[in-house]
């Protein structure tokens, strides 16, 4: 059985009203407050209506609800988080969509992939390719947001760090971080993404060092040595800060 449906069934059983509930209500221990469409001018019952105890507090069955958004989505037929991720990427790759709407979609996408499960699901949903393609978008704000999302997806996550490396994303981030003339905000987000990509993941650190060699920073670095990694990242930030002051 689907995990969410199983949890929904379990919640329903745990919070079902005993058959003695009507009698208890008659004795004044509890009372159910139900609003009918005819009770007011609104033909649709309010979504905020909840079962109440006699003193007006929420029923424990509601107050103690453990239903998460995924379960509610399964119950009411709303889009899953995977659906929302796909929808956001469709907006981002649609040339007819306005920049403002793309930025809203990017913000939603970034919040979704803060979840480890959603970040790992980028591969299953085939979203790595379109996400990385946005690193080269002609609009600087979209490049910045793409780098931000990459950094969020790979932070403290060896699985997504591996996927970014396999997709060729590490040299791309190095190029963005070191590119003279690139927008300073874009370069800073690229450095953030690179920092997330290489920490505690030696293969990515090695590739980054190789790409940085042409810039005079190609020394071997232990990806597990945070001070050493900070040295590389700090060096990149200093370059960007100098460019910002120029």
Domain ranges (residues) in the chain: 3-33+50-76, 81-245
- How does pLDDT run along the chain (246 residues), one tens digit per residue? 456 556 655 666 666 655 544 444 445 544 444 444 444 444 444 444 444 444 454 444 444 555 566 666 656 667 999 999 999 999 999 999 999 999 999 999 999 999 999 999 999 999 999 999 999 999 999 999 999 999 999 999 999 999 999 999 999 999 999 999 999 999 999 999 999 999 999 999 999 999 999 999 989 999 999 999 999 999 999 999 999 998
| Cα gap 138→118, rounded to integer Å | 27
* Cβ proximity of 160 and 204 under 8 Å: no
Does this model's pTM top 0.75?
no
- The CATH label, of 1.20.120.1200, 3.40.50.620, 3.40.47.10, 1.25.10.10, for the domain at 81-245 is 1.25.10.10
Q: Report whether 102 contacts 140 (CB < 8 A).
A: no
């Amino acid at each position: 059985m689907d995990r969410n449906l199983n949890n929904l069934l379990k919640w329903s059983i745990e919070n079902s009203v005993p058959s003695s509930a009507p009698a208890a209500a008659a004795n004044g221990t509890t009372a159910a407050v139900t609003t009918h469409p005819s009770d007011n001018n609104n033909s649709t019952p309010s979504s905020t209506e909840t079962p109440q105890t006699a003193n007006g507090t929420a029923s424990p069955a509601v107050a103690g609800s453990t239903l998460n958004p995924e379960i509610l989505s399964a119950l009411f037929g709303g889009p899953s988080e995977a659906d929302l991720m796909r929808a956001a990427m469709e907006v981002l790759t649609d040339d007819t969509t306005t920049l403002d709407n793309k930025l809203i979609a990017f913000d939603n996408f970034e919040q979704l992939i803060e979840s480890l499960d959603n970040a790992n699901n980028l591969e299953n949903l085939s979203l790595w390719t379109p996400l990385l393609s946005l690193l080269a978008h002609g609009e600087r704000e979209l490049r910045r947001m793409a780098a931000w999302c990459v950094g969020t997806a790979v932070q403290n996550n060896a699985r997504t760090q591996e996927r970014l490396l396999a997709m060729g994303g590490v040299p791309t981030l190095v190029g963005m971080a070191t590119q003279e003339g690139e927008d300073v905000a874009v370069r800073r987000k690229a450095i953030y993404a690179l920092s997330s990509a290489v920490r505690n993941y030696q293969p990515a650190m090695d590739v980054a060092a190789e790409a940085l060699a042409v810039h005079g920073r190609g020394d071997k670095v232990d990806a597990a040595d945070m001070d050493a990694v900070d040295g590389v990242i700090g060096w990149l930030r200093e370059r960007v800060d100098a460019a910002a002051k120029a």
